[in-house]
Amino acid sequence: MAEVLPLQNDDQQAKQAPAETSATSSQPTAAATTKKSLPKGIVLGPDGKPCRSCNSFRDFFSATSGGAAPPTAPTEAASNCPPDVEQLGRAGWTLLHTIAASYPSEANPAQQEDMKNFMSIFARIYPCWSCAEDFRTWMSKPENDVRNVVQGRKTFGKWLCDAHNDVNVKLGKKPFDCFKWEERWRTGGKGC
Ligand SMILES: Cc1cc2nc3c(=O)[nH]c(=O)nc-3n(C[C@H](O)[C@H](O)[C@H](O)COP(=O)(O)OP(=O)(O)OC[C@H]3O[C@@H](n4cnc5c(N)ncnc54)[C@H](O)[C@@H]3O)c2cc1C
């Protein structure tokens, strides 16, 4: 499993993307030269530079500005910047769960095929490469095989909830109650 480690963890080196991991880049790595000058724990991209979508805004800023603190509160400062790992993640999960919410209760063979392909492509091109790597590892386990859940909304939605919980737990967050998945993403609770 790929680990995205906080910068303050002094025991960890910067994490380098494998050269061929990113589907969007064929640049050779420059890790050997860049790694030494970077804070430990930062996730690097395939070009050997800090990966913006793999790190928090604060970590990315501090890694690319010689250790200076972000000028304002990270969320404020980042609102007009390319997304960091958290913004991208919230948007990514919103898209995935909302796709699940609009998936038919009984999908036909063509819809099932589309969903299998979509998830497999998503897991390859998700811009946080270290997140994508872990997601592919999770998907490759026999019990998480997406082919077994695309028959309809309930099974697919639950599968996504489990996938999201795997990341929640990895990041030290509380798992979400998957019985509430549909209320959160499809029907809406009181006040929605
Ligand atoms: C495929 C993928 C892999 C990721 N991997 C990593 C990683 O390896 N490292 C990393 O730092 N970040 C990763 N992220 C981002 C991370 O999961 C969060 O999105 C980010 O940390 C922001 O978290 P958040 O607490 O704001 O809420 P999020 O986790 O983004 O959740 C958004 C909302 O979804 C709801 N929710 C929470 N859990 C579930 C669930 N299980 N099922 C349904 N709804 C739920 C809640 O209402 C929550 O407010 C990944 C994102 C994606 C899409």
pLDDT of residue 24: 41
pLDDT of residue 17: 77
Length of the chain counted residue by residue: 192
Closest by CA to 100, choosing from 177, 19, 187, 6, is 187
The encoded tokens of residue 15 equal: 């994490």
Ligand 1 atom at minimal distance to the Cα of residue 89: 19
Question: Block means of pLDDT (10 residues each) for the chain, length 192 residues?
Answer: 40 64 37 55 90 90 80 62 95 98 98 98 97 98 98 98 98 98 96 94
Compute the distance from residue 90 Cα to the ligand 1 centre, in Å: 6
Q: Rounded to whole angstroms, how far apart are CA atoms 54 and 49? A: 11
Q: Rounded to whole angstroms, how far apart are CA atoms 181 and 27? A: 40
pLDDT of residue 186: 97
Closest by CA to 42, choosing from 76, 8, 89, 71, is 8
Q: Whole-prediction pTM value?
A: 0.85
Residue to mutate (ligand 1; options 164, 169, 184, 186; most atoms within 8 A of CB): 164
Domains of the chain: 31-78 (no CATH), 85-187 (1.20.120.310)
pLDDT of residue 59: 87
Which residue's CA is the closest to the ligand 1 atom numbered 22?
A: 86
CA angle 26-29-35, nearest 5°? 150
